[in-house]
Amino acid sequence: MASSTPTKRQRIVLIIDANGYIGNAVARAFVPEEITPIVGAIDDVCTQESILPQLPPCVNVVVSTSESWPDYEGHYHNVGALSQPWKFRDASGGPLLIFTSGCKDYGADPTHLLPSSSLDSEGIVHPAPKPHTEETPLNPLSFLRPRTELASQIHDRLGYPYSTALVRPINLYGRSGSYFGEWFDVFSAAVAEGRQVVVPSRSGEGRDICQGVHVDDCAEAYVALAERFFYPPDWPFIEIDNKLEWQTFNISSRGTEETVDGIVRALCDEYGVEYAAGIRFVKPEDSKEGENPWPSQLVVDYPQLIEDKKLRYLTGWSDRRPLFREAVGLYKRAYEAAREGGKGWESVKKTEEMPSSAD
């Protein structure tokens, strides 16, 4: 957890779980020059009495990137208790609360395949898929249901006097990797053991869309929402409401054609794996017991195409870092450095300080 005080605009930000993967990136994005750590255990309610005196009297933005399993519900209520708006209210009213869930709330979609102009192995031509938007019905995996349902209630639970914004990032990559780190783990293990890489694919040929966004681009979306909240533009909106309060925003990327096969081919080049002999795509129903090396089943076998048009239109935000397959070697080195820790983390920072791709 950290509080930060931007000197330029005099805004104070409380980041819950600033040591976490997203939270740390958000902290860097908000105030690179000044972050004051506040140590405490959110799920130990008694320690909140010691945390609160460390907080500044006025907070303009509260960013919650925290979750805890298996007791997500208990953790959710503890975060809510720490974030009670009367503790941070000032003369201008309650602050902006940006609360984090995820695009897995919508569930995987087997139709999210790269469009094909010719017949596939089963004689089917696949049209362009319809992306998930903020209006898509929620359909999470059973173990994610508590997060999906409770996060969706944030506007009702804390929407007054808070101004609440719920964000749903897609899978993240970069630095320590999040779930996309599985790509490196699986390929490294296969190469070390001299075996084929088994790749789950609902299409059977890797056309499944595997969209991700760099964690630092994701963090900049949080900043863009806060900036938009405090400094709304003076031009009229036509297609969407001109207020971001009590709205939900997807955070995605321009990688609408990023597929499992495209990433696999980039990793084959990086690891020196012969694509034809070293890769085997397997449909989930054809997978043998113990054959699938992927630990989470939330990246490769989870096709999703996510639209974030509302975020881009309302804030002007856009993702700038190279897509995962475009700089897979760079992200591999950063991931390995992050896993080393210590001096490795310095390597991560240096590795990821790179020119951005074209806007």
Confidence band for 43, pLDDT divided at 50, 70 and 90: confident
H or E segment and range at residue 288: none
| Residue given tokens 């930060």 in the structure block | 4
The structural domains of the chain, ordered by start, are 95-352 (3.40.50.720)
Confidence at residue 278, expressed as pLDDT on a 0 to 100 scale? 96
> Is 50 exceeded by the pLDDT of residue 196?
yes
- pLDDT at position 346 is 42
Mean pLDDT across the chain: 82
Q: How confident is the model at residue 66, as a pLDDT? A: 85
The half-sphere exposure of 11 on its side-chain side, counting CA atoms within 13 A, is 18
The enclosing H or E element of 168 equals strand 163-169
More confident residue, 60 or 313: 313
Residue 26 CA to its chain's centroid (Å): 11
The four Cα atoms 344, 324, 170, 289 give a dihedral, to 10 degrees, of -90
**DSSP secondary structure letters along 98-115:** EEE--GGGG---TT-B--
Average pLDDT over residues 211-235: 87
Q: Taking residues 260-277, report their average pLDDT.
A: 96
Q: How confident is the model at residue 279 (pLDDT cuts 50, 70, 90)?
A: very high
Q: Three-class SS of residue 45?
A: helix
- Cα–Cα–Cα angle for 54, 47, 166, nearest 5°? 75
Give the mean model confidence (pLDDT) for residues 98-114. 92
Q: Tell me what percent of the residues of the chain surpass a pLDDT of 90.
A: 44
Q: What is the pLDDT of residue 218?
A: 97
| pLDDT for the residue 108 | 93
Q: Where are the beta strands (DSSP E) in the chain?
A: 2-4, 13-16, 35-37, 61-64, 96-100, 163-169, 172-173, 197-200, 213-214, 247-251, 279-282
Local confidence band at 199 (pLDDT 50, 70, 90 cut-offs): very high
Burial class (CB in 10 A: 0-12, 13-18, 19+), 304: buried
In angstroms, the first-to-last Cα distance of the chain is 32
pLDDT higher at 179 or 276 = 276
Using pLDDT thresholds of 50, 70 and 90, give the confidence band for residue 354: very low
| pLDDT (0 to 100) of residue 318 | 97
Q: Residue 294: what pLDDT?
A: 87
3-class SS at 86? helix
**Ramachandran region, residue 297 (left: φ > 0; alpha: ψ -120 to 50; beta: rest):** left
Tokens encoding 278? 């070293």
Q: How many CB atoms lie within 10 A of CB 301?
A: 21
- Out of 83-97, 155-169, 271-285, the most confident range is 271-285
Residue 273's CB: how many other CB atoms inside 10 A? 18
Q: Is the pLDDT of residue 20 over 80?
A: yes
Q: With the CA atoms of 279, 284, 286 and 290 taken in that order, what torsion angle do they form, in degrees rounded to the nearest 10?
A: 80
Residue 93 pairs with which residues in a beta bridge? 90
Query: Mind listing the pLDDT tens digit for each residue in 325-350?
Result: 999 999 999 999 988 874 333 444 44
Give me the pLDDT at residue 233, please: 65
Q: What is the pLDDT of residue 345?
A: 38
Q: What global pTM score does this model have?
A: 0.86
pLDDT at 356: 40
Q: What is the pLDDT of residue 117?
A: 52
